[in-house]
Chain A
Amino acid sequence: MGYDPENPMADRITDIGPPHFEQMFPPVVKNNYGKWLYHEILEPGVLMHKSETGDECYTVRVGAARLISVEHIRELCDVADAHCDGHLRWTTRNNVEFMVDAKAKVQPLMDDLKSRGNKFPIGGTGAGVTNIVHTQGWMHCHTPATDASGVVKAVMDELFDYFTSMTLPAQVRIALACCLNMCGAVHASDIAILGVHRKPPMIDYDQISAVCEIPLAVSACPLGAIRPAKGTNSAGEEVKAVAVKNERCMFCGNCYTMCPAMPLADPDGDGIAILVGGKVSNSKSMPKFSKLVIPFLPNTPPRWPETVSAIKNILEVYAKNARKYERVGEWAERIGWEKFFEITGIPFTIKSIDDYRLAYDTWRTTTQFKFTSHIK
């Protein structure tokens, strides 16, 4: 049996949804569902959860690339078969967790993981840098302004010691989105790596009539910079097209999303912006957006040294100066953003002053500020 192309609707099964989560639980999780009392991080990457039944669940967390092969998954399964009765899980940040029901089973599991080269780094817990959530980049996306997997690998290589330790003032969440669509939703991360374009779209007059609905392209622009206009294709014929008021473009790329005849990616125009100080958790302070502190760094594959060193600098200045429990954004707000720029040595530029919608909310409307070195 199997799919019959002559009869595609035969025996069709639809709308069955995912497998039920309970089939996937290890016994210690199933038996203690909703009965957990407290947890403790025994060492970086190792958690113990205590149940009111007296049971304990030990978890070993390892980092992984988000882009992984089925061969790699099979090796993860080998480990889970050998130590965890065939169960494992992924976290929301692309880490993999192995769970066992007794302390004595932890060390053999860790020894096994460590014996497999650098494939399964143990860590990603507590006051450290955990895995970077990210998007597709050049691996699979049609709108990126930078790569994803490559940048993440370069950054995590450099920050590796923070993944395997818990020495920071609080957890630091790093995220990467390869364009302003932000499939990676980096708008609420301690440190956000964001692909940005800097050249307005080109107009492909040979394609535009065939692939675009002109009104949709026009309405796609949040700033009204696109209007219907005639153009000339390479055969010299007049075609219905659009014109772009370049000085009004904020390089969001929404026009290209709606109209494939308006590409804007460019090797020199594209690069990375760094935003900091966002958080999702409601703990202590309210959720915060990430703020743009470095407007542009070039795309320099394979290892993006400018981006890597900018992130490391922010992280280390934060590590040195923030108080215990203080997230990056809480620290920056306490000391003031002028101090943040001063002590990180990041040049403050006009690009960090908002001139988009609701911009006024971010302007300072008080006489309270600090006399940092910016004021001459």
Chain B
Amino acid sequence: MPKHDTPMIDELESGPWPSFVTDLKRQAEKSPQCWDILGKMELSFRDRITHWKHGGIVGVFGYGGGIVGRYSDVPEQYPGVAHFHTVRLNQPSSKFYTTEKLRQVCDLWEKRGSGMTNMHGSTGDLVLLGTTTDQLEPLFYDLTHDLNWDLGGSGSNLRTPSCCLGKARCEYSCIDTQALCHHLTMHYQDEIHRPAFPYKFKFKFSGCPNDCVAAIARSDFAVIGTWRDDIRIDQSQVKGYLNGDYAPNAGAHSGRDWGKFDIEKEVLDLCPTGCMRMNGEELQIDNSNCTRCMHCINVMPRALRPGLEQGATICVGAKAPILDGAQFATMTIPFLKVDPDNEFEEVVEVIEKIWDWWMEVGKNRERVGETIMRIGLPTFLKVMEVDVLPQHIKEPRSNPYVFWGEDEVEGGWDRSVVEFRKRHAQ
């Protein structure tokens, strides 16, 4: 495959940030179709428009997801990328790798595809970017037989679940995000690989309310670690912060001189509920008024830790704006046990309640958050069989249009207008 003149994208080889153009040229020495990627990219830069056709259904036998078809609209000019399908590999939970395993993926992809990847796709998959239809089955065979590895999701199915790094290397995590993510990924292989839902459905698992995988913004089913007892305080370490022995916020602000650490200004005054006070050098927290936002813990990680009665808050229905506007996930279950020892049965039960309802009432291409919007949170809460709580709302409704049920009203709805008129002239 010949090299193309690429003066525009060549300009992206300069500058301090790593250059994907330089990287593509490096790979092109081994995978000549990368010259056509570069040429076609240059064409898009020149024309200021994409040169990929709409759609193209490809896949491997028995799966309805995991591979996204892509064809060029200028196939003769750049034959090396005429077909450029994407293969989604389900990433190991929280994206730790051994070099041995990664090198196997590299070798496989150099043999079966373009050699270019996304580490990672927005949902979390390890994305292999660009191959031809005839390579898909052989690739899948090698992937499952030699690498013991499977595809992720695409289409109207359960998308590849993802999680934060949790207990692997974070002191805040209140749930075992990896174990939960891996267990549910294995439990729902059928739902990941064979689309049967109204639309896509995403699981994301964050260990604490800092929510490093953006579960509350991006997932239909968000499991976010929390606790329901008291924040653990080590008063001697509080003194350490007061004395300036430790950098606040784990040193995250050390690039600028913000002055001496001021616990009033930096912690107490920024607490959203004002539930903290200093009694001399002792930090006191009114835990009954704490909403577990994490700010104080983030600022003083050596002194404060989440409580010990740990579990998760379940929020449902987040999505990006298409179509009715963006939605954050709605808090549905305040506190749920997340227990690896019973194979997370409490979590599974909640998921299946949502699916049973959504698969029945959800419209084609309607995310569950939109279904809840259309039908109403009260109905959804009834379906979920959860206690109705003030925690479900930011404030009570300000309109009076309550959907009373007939059985809630004394005497029901059957009345005689004739009897009514006897007492009330028209």
CB distance from A72 to the nearest CB of B (A): 5
Residues on A with C-beta less than 8 A from B12 are 150, 153-154, 302-303
Residue A119 is within 8 A (CB to CB) of chain B in the complex: yes
Residues on A with C-beta less than 8 A from B91 are 18
A137 to B48, CA, bound (A): 11
> Considering only CB atoms and an 8 Å cut-off, how many residues of chain B contact the other chain?
135
CB distance from B316 to the nearest CB of A (A): 14
CB distance from B4 to the nearest CB of A (A): 15
Q: Which of A142, A144, A266 has the most CB of B within 10 A?
A: A142
Residue A343 is within 8 A (CB to CB) of chain B in the complex: no
Question: What residue of chain B has the Cβ atom nearest to residue A222's Cβ?
Answer: B323
A15 to B153, CA, bound (A): 11
CB distance from B73 to the nearest CB of A (A): 9
CB distance from B62 to the nearest CB of A (A): 6
CB distance from A275 to the nearest CB of B (A): 10
Contact A33 B167 (CB under 8 A): yes
Q: Mark B24-37, 1 if CB is under 8 A from A, else 0.
A: 10110010001001
Given contact pairs A18-B93, A167-B256, A150 touches B45 in the complex (Cβ within 8 A) = yes
> Considering only CB atoms and an 8 Å cut-off, how many residues of chain A contact the other chain?
133
Contact B294 A281 (CB under 8 A): yes
Residues of A163-177 at the interface with B, using a CB-CB cut-off of 8 Å, are 163, 165-168, 171, 177
Contact B20 A153 (CB under 8 A): yes
Contact B52 A142 (CB under 8 A): yes
**What are 18 pairs between A and B in contact, CB < 8 Å?**
A12-B144, A23-B98, A25-B96, A49-B171, A67-B116, A71-B115, A88-B97, A89-B165, A94-B119, A126-B254, A140-B52, A142-B52, A149-B20, A157-B14, A165-B255, A280-B217, A283-B210, A287-B216
Task: Identify 14 new A-B residue pairs, CB closer than 8 A, beyond the known A19-B148, A135-B122, A180-B321.
Answer: A21-B92, A21-B182, A24-B98, A38-B301, A74-B103, A96-B119, A128-B255, A138-B49, A138-B51, A149-B20, A157-B16, A254-B322, A260-B54, A302-B11
7 closest Cβ pairs, A-B complex: A126-B252, A157-B15, A182-B320, A69-B27, A260-B54, A3-B141, A166-B255
Residues of B within 8 A of A (CB): 8-9, 11-12, 14-21, 23-24, 26-27, 30, 34, 37, 41, 44-45, 47-55, 61-63, 70, 84, 86, 89-103, 105-107, 109-110, 115-120, 122, 124, 129-130, 137-138, 140-142, 144-145, 147-150, 152, 162, 164-165, 167-171, 173, 176, 178, 182, 185-186, 189-190, 193, 209-214, 216-218, 246-247, 249-256, 258, 266, 270, 272, 292-295, 298-299, 301-302, 320-326, 328
